Structure 1
Amino acid sequence: MLEIDRLSLRYGRHLALEDVSVRVLSGETVVILGANGAGKSSLLKAIAGLANPDSGSRVTLDGKSLLGLPPHEIPEAGIALVPEGRGVFGDLNVGENLLLGANPRRARATEAQRLDLVYELFPRLAERKRQIVRTMSGGEQQMVAIGRALMSNPRYLMLDEPSLGLAPIVVTELFAALKRVQQTGVALLLVEQNVSISLSISDRGYLMEAGRIVGSDTAEALKTDAAVQQAFLGGTAV
C-alpha cells in the first residue's frame, strides 16, 4: 500500500498542503479532485521526491518510508510520475524516450517485454517509433510520457492532469489505454480536471480544497454526490 499520512508542505511562507492523508492499495485507481491551486500537483511532487514536506509528514510504500529519498530512487521503489506538461525529451525520437524510462534497475531485466506492452497499449507509438517527439501532437506526446513511465516497471503510476489541453476524442483514447494499464495490475493515482471520465475508471476519490482533504468516497458515490455535481459536473449526475 502507498500511504500518505499527515503530510504538510510549504513553499516559503505559503502552506501548500496541510495534514493530507491518502492511501492507494495495490492495483487500485484513486483520483484526487479539486480546483486549480488546491494542492493536487504538490501532493504528487511530494510523493515523487520533488518537494520536501514538513517534519512529521509520512509517505510510505508497504511500510517503508520514501521521504528523504532522492527523486531518482523513487522509480526504483516502484512509483512513476507523469508530470503536468509531460516532460518528454522533444529532440529525441519515440523509441529513445521510451528506452530512457527503462533506466531503473528494477526495469532492466524486462525492458523488451515492457516495450512490447507499451506498443500494444499505444499502437501509434509503434508506428512512429523513429519520429522526433517535438513534431508530434499533444496527445501523442502524452502517450510517450505515459509509455516512458510504464517502462520503469512501476507498481504505482501517478498522472498529473493527463488530459490537459487534449481534444475530447484523444482524451477518450487516452483513458481507454489507462483502463488497459489497470488490467496489468498497476495502481493509478490520478490528478485530473476531467472529473467525469476520471471517476469512470476509478475505484475511489478524494476531494481536496485549499491544501486539505475535505472528503473521500467510492467513485460511484462521488458521481452522485450533490457537492461534487455542483462543483465539477454542472449540477448533473454522471
Structure 2
Amino acid sequence: MLEIAGLSVRYGKHLALDDVALKVGRGEIVVMLGANGAGKSSLLKAVGGMVKREPGASIRLAGTELAGLPAHRIVGAGLALVPEGRGVFGELTVRENLALGAFPHRGRAAEADNFERVQNLFPRLRERLDQAVRTMSGGEQQMVAVGRALMSAPAILLLDEPSLGLSPLMCKELFQALARIRDDGTGVLLVEQNARQSLAIGDRGYLLEGGRVVGSGSAAALGADPAVRAAYLGVAHGEAA
C-alpha cells in the first residue's frame, strides 16, 4: 500500500537519509530500528511532507504519488503522522483535539464512526472528552495524539517514539491499541525506542544506520538475530532474552 523508493533528505551538507526504500502493507505494523541519529525521525517527517526531500524520491500510497505534495494533501490522501512530542493542543479539550483530526475530507466523511472507534480504542478518553488536554498525563495525551490522527481515517499511520516518557502500564495499553489498529486494517510505520515491544507486535522491520537501510526481515527473525538483539534489545551475543 505504501511504497517508498529513492528517499533522501539533506540538512545543509549533512545527508540524513540516503536512497531509502521500504514498504508498508495494509493491516501491517512495520518497525524501523536504528540508533539515535540514524535518520528515523527524518524518514517519517519526509514521508509526511514535513521536511524537504531530495529530487528523485517516490512515495506512493495505493498507487498514487505523494512526493512533492504539501503535508495537508498527504494527510488527505491517507497518511497521518503522530510526531515525537505528540503536538496536541493543550488548551483545547479532548473532544476539540479529536474534531480537528477529522478536518480532511476523508475524515469528515466518517467522523462519527471514527470518533466512536477512538473511544473504543482508548476508553480513558471517553471519560475525559471535555477535559483540557494540558491537564492530562503524558500517556493520556499520547492517546489523544494517536486518536486525533485516526480521526483523519488514515490508510497508513506514522508514529514517532509514541511510548517516550510513558509509564510501563501506559506503554502496555498503547501497544495493545496499536495491535488493534493494525487488526482493523490500518498500516503502521513505527519508530520506537522500545524495540522489544515493537517487534513483539510488529510484522516486519527495517534497520536504519547512517541514513541507509542496512537490513530487513520479519519481526520474529529480527528479534532472534544476535546482532539485532545486542544492538537494540540489550541482549549480549549468546545470552538468552
1:61 corresponds to: 61
TM-score, length basis structure 2: 0.97
| Structure 1 residue 207, shift from structure 2 partner | 0.3
Distance 2:183 2:6 in 1: 31
After TM superposition, list the pairs within 5 Å mapping 1:179-198 onto structure 2. Answer: 179-198=179-198
1:128 corresponds to: 128
1:33 corresponds to: 33
3-state SS of 1:190 partner: strand
2:88 corresponds to: 88
| Structure 1 residue 179, shift from structure 2 partner | 1.2
User: What amino acid maps onto 2:186 in structure 1?
Assistant: V
| Structure 1 residue 197, shift from structure 2 partner | 0.4
Distance 2:126 2:223 in 1: 36
CA contact (8 A) 1:155 1:186 kept: yes
| Structure 1 residue 63, shift from structure 2 partner | 2.4
CA contact (8 A) 1:18 1:212 kept: yes
1:103 corresponds to: 103
Distance 2:16 2:216 in 1: 19
The two structures, once aligned, show a CA RMSD in angstroms of 0.9
In structure 2, the CA distance between the partners of 1:191 and 1:237, relative to structure 1 (3 Å rule), is farther
- List alignment gaps of at least 5 residues for structure 1: none
Superposed CA offset, 1:39-75 (max 9, x none): 0000000110111111112111122211111111111
1:164 corresponds to: 164
Matched, 1:222 2:222: yes
Q: After alignment, is 48-57 or 81-90 more displaced?
A: 48-57
- Percent identity of paired positions between Structure 1 and Structure 2: 62
In structure 2, the CA distance between the partners of 1:204 and 1:227, relative to structure 1 (3 Å rule), is same
1:24 corresponds to: 24
2:204 corresponds to: 204
- The runs of at least 4 consecutive aligned structure 1 residues that moved more than 3 Å come to none
Distance 1:82 1:237 in 2: 34
2:46 corresponds to: 46
Distance 1:63 1:110 in 2: 23
3-state SS of 1:103 partner: coil
Distance 1:70 1:237 in 2: 47
Q: After alignment, is 15-24 or 56-65 more displaced?
A: 56-65
Superposed CA offset, 1:97-153 (max 9, x none): 000000000111211111001000000000000110011100000000000000000
